[in-house]
């Protein structure tokens, strides 16, 4: 029985290590595509091309807002630091149980700093934004 238990433990350890390695490899391979999706949406928002900006949202987000116009009202009203940032910077890409999270740093027009966690979702081979959580950042972060 101890030999069987050792074999099961070794197999379980291999599977767990493989799962973590696969997630990290996927995140590493897709990092540029994830950054491109976010930067493309930011560019579309800054030029008020809401139809284009809406295409970078996941089907879930598109389902919630239903139209580029409703999406624009949410962004302009709730995320002015994203709509018209003074500056922004790309941070680390991490993994979460819900998918990859791209950290972004924003400075708004008043000079306040924010950290935004972009939850990403792979949809038909393309990365889409599946939610953004924004919080104030300490001064030294950006």
**DSSP for 49-62?**
-HHHHHHTB-HHHH
Assigned token pair, 97: 């149980």
- pLDDT at position 12 is 36
d(CA 48, CA 14): 49
- pLDDT at position 6 is 34
- pLDDT at position 141 is 53
- Asked if residues 34 and 103 have their Cβ atoms less than 8 Å apart, the reply is no
| H helix or E strand, kind and range, residue 27 | helix 2-46
| H helix or E strand, kind and range, residue 6 | helix 2-46
| pLDDT in single tens digits along all 142 residues of the chain | 444 333 333 333 333 333 343 344 354 678 999 999 999 999 999 999 999 999 999 999 999 999 999 999 999 999 999 999 999 999 999 999 999 999 999 999 999 999 999 999 999 999 999 999 999 998 655 5
Which residue in 113, 108, 111 sits closest to 82, CA to CA?
108
């Amino acid at each position: 029985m101890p030999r069987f238990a050792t074999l099961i433990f070794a197999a379980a350890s291999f599977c767990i290590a493989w799962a973590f390695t696969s997630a990290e490899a996927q995140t590493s391979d897709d990092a540029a595509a994830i950054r491109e999706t976010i930067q493309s949406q930011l560019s579309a928002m800054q030029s008020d091309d809401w139809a284009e900006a809406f295409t970078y949202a996941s089907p879930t987000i598109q389902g919630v807002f239903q139209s580029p116009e409703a999406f624009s009202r949410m962004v302009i009203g709730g995320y002015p630091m994203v709509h018209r940032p003074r500056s922004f910077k790309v941070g680390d890409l991490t993994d979460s149980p819900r998918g990859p999270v791209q950290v972004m740093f924003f400075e708004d027009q008043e000079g306040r700093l924010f950290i935004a966690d972009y939850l990403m979702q792979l949809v038909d081979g393309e990365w889409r934004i599946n939610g953004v959580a924004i919080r104030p950042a300490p001064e030294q972060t950006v």
